[in-house]
Structure 1
Amino acid sequence: MPPKGQFDLKTRQKYPLFVETGSCFDATTSKHIKVRPGGHEALPKKPLDVSAFSFCKKTGRKTPDQFIRRGTGPGGTLRPSKKDETPPEFPDENVTPQCRVLTDRNNNSRPVNKKLDFQAFLERPNPPNTEFRRFYERGDLPVQIEHGGVHNRIAWKVAIEKLDFHHYLPIFFDGLREIEMPYAFLSEQGVYDMMQIGSSKVVPVIPQLIIPIKTALNTRDRSVIAKVLKVLQALVKCDQEEKLVGQALVPYYRQILPVLNIFIRKNGNLGDGIDYGQQKRGNLGELIMETLEAFEIHGGKDAFINIKYFVPVYESVIIN
C-alpha cells in the first residue's frame, strides 16, 4: 500500500496546462509560459567549422557506416545511384522528420538523421501568450463574434471612433500571430475595422505597432507572415489622401524588412500547372513584392533607398 497522502489531490504537484482549445472560454495560463516568441533556442545547431576562420582542418576517423557500400555507388559512370525516397513502413520514433532514407542493394531502407542546412526558413516558437488573448479572456476587449449566414463579423460594443487607439490597436496587432480561433479571426478583423474607420488616429500609434509586427514576422510561420503582409498593405493605404502612415513606417524598416528579404524568393513554381490558390493570395514571394511596392509608393522620397538597403534585389516601380 502506498503511504497515506501520496495520491492525495491536495498534496500532488500541479503542472501548468496550456489549454489552447480554440474556444472563447480558453483559460491559458500565460504566466507559466517561458518561451520567447521568435526565439532561436529550439533550432538545430550545426558543429563549428574551424576551417572557416583559420587554416586548420578538422579531421576524424570514419566509421564503416560513412563509406560507400558495394552496389550503391555510380560505378565510374555519371548515372546517379538508385535510392528509394519513400519513407519506411514503420518509422522509428527517434528519427526526426528532417531525415533522408538510404537504400542498399538488398532494398533495406534505413533512415538517417540529417540536420537542416537552411535554418533561416525554420519556424520559430509561437507560444499562446499574446496580449490579445490575455485581454480577451479577461473580458476587457469590446468585441464579440457576430455569426452571419455566410461570413462572421465583429460586433463592436463601443463605437470605434470613441476607442483609445493608443491602448487597443497595439493589442490587436499583437494578436496577429495567433493561429487559433477565435483569437486569430477577432484580432485580424479588428485591425481592419479600426484602420478603416479610424484611419486618422493610426499615425500617432505607429511606434507602438512595430514590436508586435516584428514579433509576428520573427515566428517565420508562413501563414502568420502572409497575414501580417496583408495587414501592412492595408496599413500604408488606410490614409490615401495624406500618405502619412507610409512615411511614418520608413524609420522602422530595419525591424520589418530583414524577414521579408529572407522569404522574397519563396515563389511557388508549378511549371505549366495552374495555381488554384491565387484567389487566397497565399504565395509568399508575390505578397512580399506587393508589400514592398506599397511601401515605396506610399512611403515618400526616402522609401526606395531604405528598402534597397535591406532588400538588395528590389527594383523601383515608380517611373521618374
Structure 2
Amino acid sequence: MSQAPQSDIKMRPKHPIFVETGSCFDTTNTRHIKVRPGGHEALPKKDLDVSAFSFSKKTERKTPEKFMRRHTGQGGTLCPPPKDDTPPEFPDENVTPTKSGQNKVDFPAFMERPNPPNTEFRRFYERGDLPVQIEHGSCQNKVAWKVAIERLDFQHYLPIFFDGLREVEMPYAFLSEQGVYDMMQVGSSKIVPVIPQLIIPIKTALNTRDRSVVAKVLKVLQALVKCDQEQNLVGQALVPYYRQILPVLNIFIRKNENLGDRIDYGQRKRNNLGGLIMETLEAFETHGGKDAFINIKYFVPVYESVIIR
C-alpha cells in the first residue's frame, strides 16, 4: 500500500497574539509578564559619586584633546565671562541630549513607571467571573450589573475593581472605574471594613506615575471619603494609611499648568494634577477627623489647613 506524498510546506506552530482588545475571544498572557507594576528597575541611573561616602575621589587621565590650548583662556585678562541668559527649566523638563541622540531625564521622580496589563480585574473579567458588562447607550455607556449591588460581597469584589484603576485599555478602564463609583454609591456602609484591602491597589496605581492614572485615582479617593458624609468613617479609616498614599501626592503637588492670560477650556475635565491633589488633601482633612491635618502636614509640608479653628 503506497503512502500519501508528503507536502513540502512545513507546518510551523502559530504563536498566539494577544491583542488585548477586550473581546471575549482575546485573553492576556499574564504568565509571561515579569515586570513589577510601579517598579523603578528600568529607570536611568546616574554614576555613583564615591566622594560622597569616603575621602576618595574619582579621577580621570586627561587626553591631549582635553588640555587647554594656547590663547584660549581668560586668566589675567579684563574680559568678563559670557553671561548665560537662558531661563531656568523645571525639573521634569530638564532633558539633556546624549551621544546616541536620545534624551535622558535628569529627574526620574516624575517619570512614568511600568504598568503591565496583569491586574486582577483583567484576569477575573477575561475569565468571566465578574457580574458586569457594558450597556451601550445612545449618549454614553453604562455598566450593566447582572446581580444587585447590595447582594455583592464587597470584601471580594471591591479590591478587584480598585486594582483595575491602573488599567488604560478599554473596556477594563471603563468597567473598573464606573464599577467603583456604583459600588460606593449603593453600598457606602459596607466600605469601612474593606479599607485595609484597598490600600495596596491604590498605592500600586499611584506608583505608576502615569498622569492619567494618578488623576483617575485622585477622583476616586475624593468620592471614597465623601461616600458617607454623615459619619465620616471612611475618611477616618484612611488616616493610618497616609504613609502609603501621600508620598506620590507630595511629588506632583506643584504640577499646575501656568497658561498666563489664556483660558483653559478643558478645566471641566479636571485633569490638572496639582489642583486635583489639593482638592484631595482638602477632602482628606475635612472628612478625616481631628488627626487628619497633622498626618497630612507630615507627608506634604506645603499643605495648609482649610478648616477654621
**What range is the shorter-chain TM-score in?**
0.7 to 0.9
- Match of residue 300 from structure 1: 289
Asked whether the equivalents of residues 134 and 143 of structure 2 are also in contact (C-alpha less than 8 Å), the reply is yes
Q: 1:52 to 1:273 in 2, by over 3 A?
A: farther
Matches within 5 A, 1:202-217: 202-217=191-206
Gaps of 5+ in 2: 1-6, 74-78, 87-94
* Equivalent AA in structure 2 for residue 131 of structure 1: E
- Match of residue 221 from structure 1: 210
Q: Say which SS state the counterpart of residue 28 (structure 1) adopts.
A: coil
CA offset digits 1:3-41 (Å, max 9, x no partner): x9995425x8x5x75432354543111122111100111
**Distance apart, 1:272 and its partner CA:** 1.8
Asked whether the equivalents of residues 162 and 176 of structure 2 are also in contact (C-alpha less than 8 Å), the reply is yes
For residues 279 and 67 of structure 1, the distance between their equivalents in structure 2, rounded to whole angstroms, comes to 59
Matches within 5 A, 1:83-94: none
For residues 296 and 68 of structure 1, the distance between their equivalents in structure 2, rounded to whole angstroms, comes to 60
Q: 1:67 to 1:123 in 2, by over 3 A?
A: farther
Q: What RMSD over aligned residues (CA atoms) do the two structures have, in Å?
A: 2.8
**Distance apart, 1:53 and its partner CA:** 2.2
**Distance apart, 1:81 and its partner CA:** 9.3
* Equivalent AA in structure 1 for residue 82 of structure 2: L
Q: Say which SS state the counterpart of residue 144 (structure 2) adopts.
A: strand
Q: 1:119 to 1:5 in 2, by over 3 A?
A: farther
CA offset digits 1:194-234 (Å, max 9, x no partner): 00011111111001100100000010100000000000000
**Distance apart, 1:276 and its partner CA:** 1.7
For residues 21 and 45 of structure 2, the distance between their equivalents in structure 1, rounded to whole angstroms, comes to 32
**Distance apart, 1:60 and its partner CA:** 1.8
Matches within 5 A, 1:85-234: 100=97, 112-113=101-102, 115-234=104-223
CA offset digits 1:97-130 (Å, max 9, x no partner): x6538xxxxxxxx865553221111111000000
For residues 64 and 36 of structure 2, the distance between their equivalents in structure 1, rounded to whole angstroms, comes to 42
Asked whether the equivalents of residues 96 and 106 of structure 2 are also in contact (C-alpha less than 8 Å), the reply is no
Q: 1:205 to 1:65 in 2, by over 3 A?
A: farther
Give the length in aligned residue pairs. Answer: 288
In the alignment, is residue 313 of structure 1 matched against residue 302 of structure 2? yes
Asked whether the equivalents of residues 17 and 28 of structure 1 are also in contact (C-alpha less than 8 Å), the reply is no
For residues 264 and 57 of structure 2, the distance between their equivalents in structure 1, rounded to whole angstroms, comes to 47
For residues 148 and 54 of structure 2, the distance between their equivalents in structure 1, rounded to whole angstroms, comes to 65
TM-score, L = length of structure 2: 0.85
**Distance apart, 1:138 and its partner CA:** 0.8
- Match of residue 44 from structure 2: 44
CA offset digits 1:295-316 (Å, max 9, x no partner): 0000000101111111111111
Q: Say which SS state the counterpart of residue 308 (structure 2) adopts.
A: coil
* Equivalent AA in structure 2 for residue 78 of structure 1: P
- Match of residue 21 from structure 2: 21
CA offset digits 1:221-263 (Å, max 9, x no partner): 0000000000000000000101000000001111101111111
Q: Computing the radius of gyration over CA atoms, which structure comes out larger, 1 or 2?
A: 2
- Match of residue 273 from structure 1: 262
Matches within 5 A, 1:227-266: 227-266=216-255
